Structure 1
Amino acid sequence: MDLDAYVAEHRGEWHRLEALSGRRRLSAAEADELVALYQRAATHLSVLRSRSPEPGLVAELSQLVLRARGRITGRPRPSWAAVGRFLLVGFPGAVYRAWPWWCAVATGFSLLSGFLIWYVAGHPDTAAAFVGEEAAAELVRSGFAGYYTEFSAPTFAFHLWTHNAWLAAQCLASGVLVVPVFWLLWQNALNIGVVGGVMVSYGRADVFFGMITPHGLLELTGVFVAAGVGLRTAWAWIAPPPRLTRGRAVAEAGRSAVLAAVGLVGVFAVSAGLEAFVTPAPLPAALRIGAGAAVWLAFLAYVVVLGRRAVGGSCVAPDTAAGSTVDTPGLRAGRGI
């Protein structure tokens, strides 16, 4: 192919396509012309890629074709309507679809943590083996309560937000492998069990539950949701529904996981605010726990009411589809709640 002759023959069309692509408004005739020139330019680009060794010309024409395609198809723009749909349909729907999974995770985690607290409280030598006698005494005297006032509230809130969002991201991303999710949950359950057991054994159960409950209800629910959604993605790979291929089932579950991941960033922002500003506040424990419980119940109502509505209005049925800990005082090597 004579490259110079080919370019000379079509250069005028390319210039015209460039001019039309740069205009803000086009008449009906100009829009039709733009589409026709775009199709020709795409053909020219295909010919040049297969027959021409001139990378500069190929790059130039590639950019022109991309600009023209963008002018034809339009560029998606963020809108408040999209944000509203995400908050009212996308996120609650994604969480509600996975409710059997994260409810099962929450039940198992609570039973395991409760057992560990009971066992460590009844066997002080176990707590000493984990943290040491002096560290346990320091934890009871001031370490546990002091953790929540160690830094300024805004700095503490930002640290908690990023830490817990990262933990949730690990649960979601590693869900398809199953084992890493259970390892992350075990680390957190062990942390809570040891710290809670130490506090209970020293007669400070009121301090432990009074300070962990205001933020822990929402914070741990966010972790349960992340783990449940991740495990749901794994199950879509292990046992896809009969109506879907394995790849399609994983893709659908993965899309729900992305929606859940984005929404959980906001959930952890709220729980971080509770932990930084409400948990250490000089208020009676009943008021602090009541505030945290109200926010937690509001989140559950939001998921159940809007999520059920979102799932009911879609064609997707609810069932189709290294280590970190939740940031907590006590075990400084892997701090959680």
Structure 2
Amino acid sequence: MDLDAYVAEHGGEWRRLEELTGRSRLDADEVDELVALYQRATTQLSVLRSRHPDPALLGQLSQMVLRARARLTGRPRPSWSALGRFVTAGFPGAVYRAWPWWCGVATAFTLLSFFLIGYVAGNPDTASALIGEQAAAELVESGFAGYYTEFAAPTFAFHLWTHNAWLAAQCLAAGVLIVPVLYLLWQNALNIGVVGGVMVAYGRADVFFGLITPHGLLELTGVFVAAGVGLRTGWAWIAPPPDLSRGQAVARAGREGVLVAVGLVGLFAVAAGIEAFVTPAPVPVPLRVAVGAAVWLAFGAYVVVLGRRATHVPPVRGGPGT
């Protein structure tokens, strides 16, 4: 094939195709012309690939064809209906289907945390060895409570939001390896156990639980969900269902993980808002705890009601054979 002659023969069509693709509006005749030119350009691109694979020309013509295809098929736009389906079915359904995993994580984490709090509170030397006697005294006097008022509330909320979202992303991404998720959970349980144990040992249990409970209920639930879904992905690799290959099982669990990851971004935004604005608010502790508990219970109801509905879809009647 004489490449120069081929380009000279069809170059006018390609220029016309590019011109029509770039226009903001086309009438009916121009749309028909665009379709015809696109179809011819696709054929010409195939011919060039098989007979004269010139990288520069192939790249230029491929981009032209892709732009024309996008113009003909339309660019995807955000859909409110798709967002609604995600909020009312996708996310709560994914969380609901994984409930045995994240409830198991929540139970084990809670038991371990309270065990560590009790152990550290009953063995003050342990806290001194872990964080130092002076650091423990500063934590009790002002460090723990001061943490919630050290920065401006909006800045603090943004920091908490990104930190927790990153922690959840690590749990979901590393779930297939299992061990990193268990390590992250251990780190957080140890931190709660040591800090809580020190506060209890110094008679400040009311301060500790009064500050950590309002936001901790929702925040830790988000961490449990991320860890549980991540571990389920790892288990899909170890023991896939009989009807799926190992790769198919991991892919299915991974798709659920993506839904959960996106949804947890919103959950952690709410938790960060509570921690930054409600936890340090100068109001009675029972009121702060009530706000946090109400939001937490609302999330639980959201997952149970909408998640169950999304998971247990009633059979469609009136189809073939009914």
Which residue number in structure 2 is paired with residue 237 of structure 1?
Answer: 237
Which residue number in structure 1 is paired with residue 95 of structure 2?
Answer: 95
Q: Distance between the aligned counterparts of 2:198 and 2:21, measured in 1?
A: 69
SS at match of 2:218: helix
Q: Alpha-carbon deviations, 1:123-163, whole Å to 9, x = none?
A: 11111111111111111111111111111111111111111
Q: TM-score, normalised by structure 1?
A: 0.88
TM superposition shift of 1:83: 1.6
Alignment of 1:78-89 (within 5 A): 78-89=78-89
CA, structure 1 residues 289+238, in 2 after alignment: closer, same or farther (shift >3 Å)?
same
Which residue number in structure 1 is paired with residue 294 of structure 2?
Answer: 294
Alignment of 1:188-203 (within 5 A): 188-203=188-203
Alignment of 1:172-321 (within 5 A): 172-313=172-313
TM superposition shift of 1:50: 4.1
Runs of 5+ unmatched residues, structure 1: 316-337
TM superposition shift of 1:245: 2.1
Identity %: 79
Q: Distance between the aligned counterparts of 2:292 and 2:33, measured in 1?
A: 61
Q: Mean Cα displacement is larger for which, 226-235 or 175-184? A: 226-235
TM superposition shift of 1:9: 2.7
Q: Distance between the aligned counterparts of 2:233 and 2:43, measured in 1?
A: 41
Q: Alpha-carbon deviations, 1:208-234, whole Å to 9, x = none?
A: 101100000000000001101111111
Q: Distance between the aligned counterparts of 1:113 and 1:159, measured in 2?
A: 24
1:75 aligns with 2:66: no
Which residue number in structure 1 is paired with residue 10 of structure 2?
Answer: 10
Q: Alpha-carbon deviations, 1:191-212, whole Å to 9, x = none?
A: 0000101111111111110110
Q: Distance between the aligned counterparts of 2:138 and 2:282, measured in 1?
A: 22
Q: Distance between the aligned counterparts of 1:74 and 1:296, measured in 2?
A: 42
SS at match of 1:59: helix
Matching residue's letter, 1:78: P
Q: Distance between the aligned counterparts of 1:53 and 1:191, measured in 2?
A: 61
Q: Distance between the aligned counterparts of 1:18 and 1:26, measured in 2?
A: 16
Q: Mean Cα displacement is larger for which, 229-238 or 32-41? A: 32-41
1:57 aligns with 2:41: no
Matching residue's letter, 1:284: P
TM superposition shift of 1:78: 0.3
CA, structure 1 residues 259+182, in 2 after alignment: closer, same or farther (shift >3 Å)?
same
Q: Distance between the aligned counterparts of 1:35 and 1:245, measured in 2?
A: 42
Q: Alpha-carbon deviations, 1:156-206, whole Å to 9, x = none?
A: 111111111111111011011100000000000000000101111111111
Q: Distance between the aligned counterparts of 1:232 and 1:291, measured in 2?
A: 32
Alignment of 1:34-183 (within 5 A): 34-52=34-52, 54-183=54-183
Q: Alpha-carbon deviations, 1:280-336, whole Å to 9, x = none?
A: 111111100000000000011111111111112399xxxxxxxxxxxxxxxxxxxxx
Q: Alpha-carbon deviations, 1:253-287, whole Å to 9, x = none?
A: 11111111111111111111111111111111110
Q: Distance between the aligned counterparts of 1:229 and 1:34, measured in 2?
A: 47
Which residue number in structure 1 is paired with residue 318 of structure 2?
Answer: none
Q: TM-score, normalised by structure 2?
A: 0.92
SS at match of 2:150: coil
TM superposition shift of 1:48: 2.2
SS at match of 2:149: coil
Q: Distance between the aligned counterparts of 1:53 and 1:249, measured in 2?
A: 40
Q: Distance between the aligned counterparts of 2:38 and 2:230, measured in 1?
A: 43
Q: Mean Cα displacement is larger for which, 298-307 or 38-47? A: 38-47
Q: Distance between the aligned counterparts of 1:181 and 1:142, measured in 2?
A: 32
Q: Distance between the aligned counterparts of 1:257 and 1:242, measured in 2?
A: 21
Q: Distance between the aligned counterparts of 1:32 and 1:234, measured in 2?
A: 52
Q: Mean Cα displacement is larger for which, 74-83 or 101-110? A: 74-83
Q: Alpha-carbon deviations, 1:40-87, whole Å to 9, x = none?
A: 322322332344364332222111111111123221100222221111
Considering only aligned residues, what root-mean-square deviation do their CA atoms show, in Å? Answer: 1.9
Matching residue's letter, 2:76: P
TM superposition shift of 1:37: 3.4
Which residue number in structure 2 is paired with residue 318 of structure 1?
Answer: none
Question: Aligned pair count?
Answer: 314
Q: Distance between the aligned counterparts of 2:127 and 2:61, measured in 1?
A: 69
TM superposition shift of 1:236: 1.7
